[in-house]
Amino acid sequence: MEHLGSYIYIVSAALFILSLKWMNSPATARRGVFSGEIGMLLAIVGTVLANHIFNWEWILAAFFIGAAVGVPIAYIMPMTAVPQRTAMSHACGALAAALVGTAEFYRANQLHETLPTFVMVALVLETLLGFLTFTGSLMAMGKLQEVLPQRPITYKNQNTVNFVLFVIAAGLGVRLVMVPTDIWIFPVFAGLSLVFGVLLIIPIGGADMPTVIALLNSYAGLSACAMGFALGNNLLVVAGALDGSSGLILSIIMCKAMNRSFTNVLFGAFGQIQASHAQAQQRPYRSASAEEAAAILEAAGSVIIVPGYGLAVAQAQHKIRELYDSLMRRGVDVKFAIHPVAGRMPGHMNVLLAEADIPYDRLWEMDDINGDFGQCDVALVIGANDVTNPAARTDKSSPIYGMPILDVDKAHTVMVIKRSMNPGFAGIDNDLYYMDKTLMLFGDAKAFVGEIIKELPAKVGA
């Protein structure tokens, strides 16, 4: 029976790999989910078959509660709240890893069982990563849910404090590895890891959440991986490594999309720096009404819509869909240009637009569409700001200089729906708004798009 378990694990690992592989295209992605589900089922079955499992009442009760909590979360959660849910599940996953590590440590100590050094190293890493990811993810969730302030919370010598704390935690970890019988160290070590997770995330601003979420994803995977080493279980190592590398790649993509390094995201306290930069002088700009905007859109041959997080906040995705339909019916070619950091987590904007039934072949990535702006009649910016700022290309003194942006300013006409002239997240003034070809459309994104749609049918009837 024991061998059977290992063979089942091999199949399960292969299914996990296939599951991620099938995510490369929307056509096969649902098969990927199915394969992942079977893989997980087999992993659990294999574990139960290969080991003598006791205390079934505890295990089944936990399964029941977990399922009872998980199902409603999956179906009730609105798509705009997916980043929070993701942060929450990083927290849950990390907590599970940390608690298993803790239980294993106390179990071995109680039985006076000497764990090999590498198992202790793995246990220490598992609990460190697990606990810090747990509180870190809770903080990220709080910021995304706007229970906590989105602005970075900073204080003097913050990086020094964090560094010292980390050194102490690491030192205790090393001590635990060398003298596993020093039981008093463990709770202190766990406590420091928990505190460190909080301190690590509070200085990070809302705009950097896509990177942070991806990074926490990676940590959660690595702590599961460490658990694999601690328990001598290769399936855990494989699944944890897959998750870890996925989080790593996503955070690298996010960093590149903002032209920032990991260290800068983690220790830079972004929003803070530019607060003083924002004092811009009054510059002239042009604004337009919904009626004028509708006339321009109707006369256009091609329109590129640039959605940003503001669109999600205004819940405007369904109105945008109506605008899209109505323009497409008039023979206007409408595309969507998606910046990699649009939204609050990697790929978030695509999900929101897909939810509104906009076909995914109309959603274009930055690199694929940037060349098209030059030939495009109208670029309509909705709720996006910094990712369209030409200063990123031209102004060396700008904090966002070097960040890859959507070349919205190359379109023949630019229209920007915005509540007011207030600068965005990073607090940087956007030159795009003051260009001669730019029309500012002031108002709530959802309401304004609604008005444009109302203006459109009247014209067609005429």
Partner 1 sequence: MDLSIGLFVFMLATFVGLEIIRKVSPLLHTPLMSLTNAISAISVVGAILITGAEGATMLSKVLGFIAITAAVTNIVSGFLITDRMLKMFKKREEKK
Residues taking part in catalysis: 386
CB atoms within 10 A of CB 358: 22
Q: Does 383 bind partner 1 (CB under 8 A)?
A: no
For partner 1, which stretch binds (CB under 8 A), given 163-171, 358-366, 404-412, 438-446? 358-366
**φ, ψ (nearest 5 deg) of residue 306:** -110, 100
Among 54, 279, 281, 396, binds partner 1 (CB under 8 A): 54
| Per-residue tokens: 97 | 């890893």
SS3 category, 447? helix
CB of 115 to partner 1, least distance (A): 12
In DSSP terms, 380 is beta-bridged to 305, 415
| DSSP of 175-206 | HHHH-TT-TTHHHHHHHHHHHHHHHHHTTS-G
For partner 1, which stretch binds (CB under 8 A), given 158-166, 290-298, 360-368, 428-436? 360-368
| Per-residue tokens: 325 | 């339909």
Closest CA to 323 of 147, 194, 451, 154: 451
In DSSP terms, 305 is beta-bridged to 336, 380
Cα angle: 289, vertex 421, 313; to 5 degrees: 85
Among 52, 112, 156, 396, binds partner 1 (CB under 8 A): 52
Judged by beta carbon, residue 326 or residue 398, the one nearer partner 1 is 326
Among 127, 190, 243, 323, binds partner 1 (CB under 8 A): 243
Give the span between the Cα atoms of 264 and 370, in whole angstroms: 27
Among 141, 213, 400, 416, binds partner 1 (CB under 8 A): 213
248 and 399 in contact (C-beta within 8 Å)? no
Place of tokens 């709240």: 81
In DSSP terms, 365 is beta-bridged to 338
Q: Does 19 bind partner 1 (CB under 8 A)?
A: yes
Count of residues making up the chain = 462
Q: Does 62 bind partner 1 (CB under 8 A)?
A: yes
CB of 79 to partner 1, least distance (A): 7
Q: Does 84 bind partner 1 (CB under 8 A)?
A: no
Judged by beta carbon, residue 36 or residue 307, the one nearer partner 1 is 36
Site for partner 1 in 97-126 (CB under 8 A): 97, 99-100, 102-104, 106-107, 110, 116, 118
Among 144, 235, 265, 405, binds partner 1 (CB under 8 A): 235
Q: Does 295 bind partner 1 (CB under 8 A)?
A: no
Site string for partner 1, 150-189 (x = CB under 8 A): ----------------------------------------
For partner 1, which stretch binds (CB under 8 A), given 22-30, 182-190, 376-384, 429-437? 22-30
Amino acid at 204: I
